[in-house]
Amino acid sequence: MLLQNLKLYLEIDESDISKDNLLTLLIGMAQDIIKQYCNIDELDSTFDNAIVLLAAYLYSKHGNDAYNSVSQGARSVSFAKEIPDFIKAILPLPKVRVV
């Protein structure tokens, strides 16, 4: 379901399987990042939209992830090294664990 939703969001035809391995990897990475940010062990279906948004964000960075900013002439693009604010806004506040 997450893969289908990510393909829909990225406007990749469902029958196009050429990027499925990469998209599946990015979904897993997004899940791990969200679990770490929220300080939780499991994600339920309420996180699906955030997972898709973060995976799409990671997909848009793919190939440029080694750079924090890229400049070309008068244009400049910066990549955040953390979860973007628009995704954090739909996540619950991180849980504090007492050790």
- Whether 81 shows a pLDDT value over 80: the answer reads no
Strand locations in the chain (E) = 69-72, 75-78
Report the phi/psi class of residue 95: left, alpha or beta, with left for phi > 0 and alpha for psi in -120 to 50: beta
CB under 8 Å to 39, separation ≥6 — which residues? 94, 95, 96, 97
| Contact indicator for 38, 88 with CB cutoff of 8 Å | no
The mean of the pLDDT values for the chain is: 86
If pLDDT is split at 50, 70 and 90, which confidence band does 2 have? very high
Tell me how crowded residue 9 is: count the other CB atoms within 10 A of its CB. 14
Higher pLDDT, 65 or 38: 38
Q: What are the domain boundaries of the chain?
A: 2-88
Higher pLDDT, 97 or 76: 97
Q: What is the pLDDT of residue 66?
A: 43
